[in-house]
């Protein structure tokens, strides 16, 4: 289920409730930065990645969530949900931004969106 959000990227943005995201699945939020995939782990942690695999742009939202990682549906790169980084031996990084959950409501920190791997 898609949800369009409005407003600037300057603040935390409410994007729905944790239970709106399937466990070990994802849900897309459309933002000014493009589609962001919210992932929910089996432990109910929520992470946000750009819905674009760093390998070939595959839709990470359609990947399989295992632990705090997602496997891209196209060529099976494994991406760490917290950092957006590909797990070795592959190298690359999906855009990612912080998420906080307050009273079961998911907030996206688009103001801190990171395009790359952040260890330059
Ligand atoms: S596009 Fe994701 S592994 Fe190739």
89 preceded by a cis bond (ω within 30 of 0): yes
Instruction: Please report the pLDDT score of residue 2 as a whole number.
Output: 40
pLDDT of residue 6: 47
Task: For ligand 1, atom 3, name the residue with the nearest CA.
Answer: 75
So where are the chain's domains? 3-112
36 CA to centre of ligand 1 in angstroms: 17
Q: Compute CA distances 77 → 63, 98, 108, 110, whole Å.
A: 10, 22, 25, 25
What distance in Å separates the CA atoms of residue 59 and residue 42, rounded to the nearest whole number? Answer: 20
CA of 96 to the centre of ligand 1 (A): 16
State the architecture of 3-112 in CATH terms. 3-layer Sandwich (2.102)
Whether the upstream peptide bond of residue 113 has omega within 30° of 0, thus cis, is no
Q: Is the CB of 53 under 6 A from ligand 1?
A: yes
Among the listed residues 107, 36, 118, 26, the one whose alpha carbon sits nearest the alpha carbon of residue 69: 26
List the chain pLDDT tens, one digit each, 120 residues: 344 444 454 579 999 999 999 999 999 999 988 999 999 999 999 999 999 999 999 999 999 999 999 999 999 999 999 999 999 899 999 999 999 999 999 999 988 899 877 654
């Amino acid at each position: 289920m898609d949800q369009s959000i409005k407003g600037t990227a300057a603040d935390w943005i409410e994007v729905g409730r944790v239970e709106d995201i399937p466990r070990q699945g994802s849900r897309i939020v459309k933002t000014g930065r493009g589609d962001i995939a919210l992932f929910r782990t089996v432990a109910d942690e929520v992470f946000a990645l750009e819905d674009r695999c760093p390998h070939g742009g595959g839709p990470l939202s359609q990947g399989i969530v295992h632990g705090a990682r997602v496997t891209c549906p196209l060529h099976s790169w494994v991406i760490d949900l917290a950092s957006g980084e590909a797990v070795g031996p592959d190298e690359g990084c999906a855009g990612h931004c912080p998420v906080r959950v307050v009273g079961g409501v998911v907030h996206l920190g688009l103001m801190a969106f990171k395009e790359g791997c952040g260890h330059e």
